[in-house]
Amino acid sequence: MERLVQILVDAVSVGSLYALTALGIGLIFGVMRLINFAHGELITIAAYTLLALFGLPLPVMLFGAAAVAILLALVTERVAFRPLRNADPTTLLISSFAVSFFLQKLLILVVGSRLKGLDFLPVLGRQIELAGIRLQLLQIVTILVSIVLLAALTWFLRATRLGLHMRAAAEDFRMARVLGVRANRVIAVAFALSGILAAAVSCLVVVQTGVVQPRMGLQLVIIAFVGTVIGGLGSLSGAAFGGFLVGAASILLQALLPPDLRAFREAFVFIAVALILLLRPQGLIPAAGLKERV
């Protein structure tokens, strides 16, 4: 029983991380029809910011990581994506690869490609006992942080004027602009929010792994991207759900597969993904108004 609960909590916690990552990708896809692979570098840069600020008070490190990720998100939007806003999605996708590679190589040039240890918030590595079951504090914190961020994002999208503009823009950007919704503002806010989500994911991953390296973000983003696709590209709840599903499934397979099959757990995850896409090509929670951008 204890083992099962531990596995489930682990699955939910890893699923939450991927949900947050997928949500960051989904936000940008919603308003720009851009699959932003450079989202991974936002995660990476936030981790290196934690490394650079290590030793300073915790709030300074957290705000620093978030600020740098937001800034980088805004700069990439301004420099790499805004000039291509009316280009077709493939051009945008290639641009996002270019940004991703450029930032990765730049990081390698500046800080080197070696892993760097970062003992961030070691207190979260402790075990705690909840209702007689021993759990890692980090997993509980990851789940709680994800719930808080999801709730905050939902509140922002549902209850604020800008949130309404973002949802309208995600469904029919042209019509939203006809009504006076400012394209630049909506897109900049989406990028800033994706920066905040990336920074949160970054902090949690760094605590979990204890290392920082230039490719850490990309690995997360590739899996999370698969999540946004099976969830339904263009649908935020779909992105979160799909990301969660992929993350949780991979942990469950790791735990439940016979030992000699565990090495192939990713293959099982992707078989499931292929099946989902065969049965529901629009994803599990399809977007309402996925139209061509003009």
Partner 1 sequence: MTASTPLLEIAGLVVRYGAITALRSIDLAVGEGEVVSIVGPNGAGKTSLLSAVAGLVKPAQGTMTFAGRRLDLVALEDVVAHGIALVPEGRHIFASLSVMENLKLGATVRRDAGAVAADMDRFFGMFPILSERRRQPAGQLSGGEQQQLAIARALLSRPRLLMLDEPSLGLAPMIVDQIYALLRTIRAQGTTILLVEQNAERVFGVSDRVFVISGGTFGLSGSAAEIKNDPRFDAAYFGVGMHAAAGGR
Catalog residues that contact partner 1 under the rule CB under 8 A. 164-165, 167-168, 171-172, 174-183, 287-289
Minimum gap (Å) between residue 28 Cβ and partner 1: 18
CB 195 within 8 A of CB 66: yes
* Residue 131 or 179 with smaller CB distance to partner 1: 179
* Residue 42 or 168 with smaller CB distance to partner 1: 168
- In the numeric block, the tokens 């980088």 are attached to 72
3-state secondary structure of 97: helix
Separation of alpha carbons 219 and 246, rounded Å: 13
3-state secondary structure of 2: helix
Minimum gap (Å) between residue 267 Cβ and partner 1: 35
Instruction: Tell me the H-state helices in the chain.
Output: 2-32, 39-52, 58-76, 89-111, 137-159, 161-171, 173-178, 183-209, 216-231, 236-256, 265-279
Length of the chain, please? 294
Separation of alpha carbons 161 and 152, rounded Å: 15
Minimum gap (Å) between residue 166 Cβ and partner 1: 11
* Residue 176 or 196 with smaller CB distance to partner 1: 176
* Residue 105 or 174 with smaller CB distance to partner 1: 174
Minimum gap (Å) between residue 94 Cβ and partner 1: 24
Minimum gap (Å) between residue 288 Cβ and partner 1: 3
Angle at 21 between CA 120 and CA 12, to 5 degrees: 75
* Residue 117 or 289 with smaller CB distance to partner 1: 289
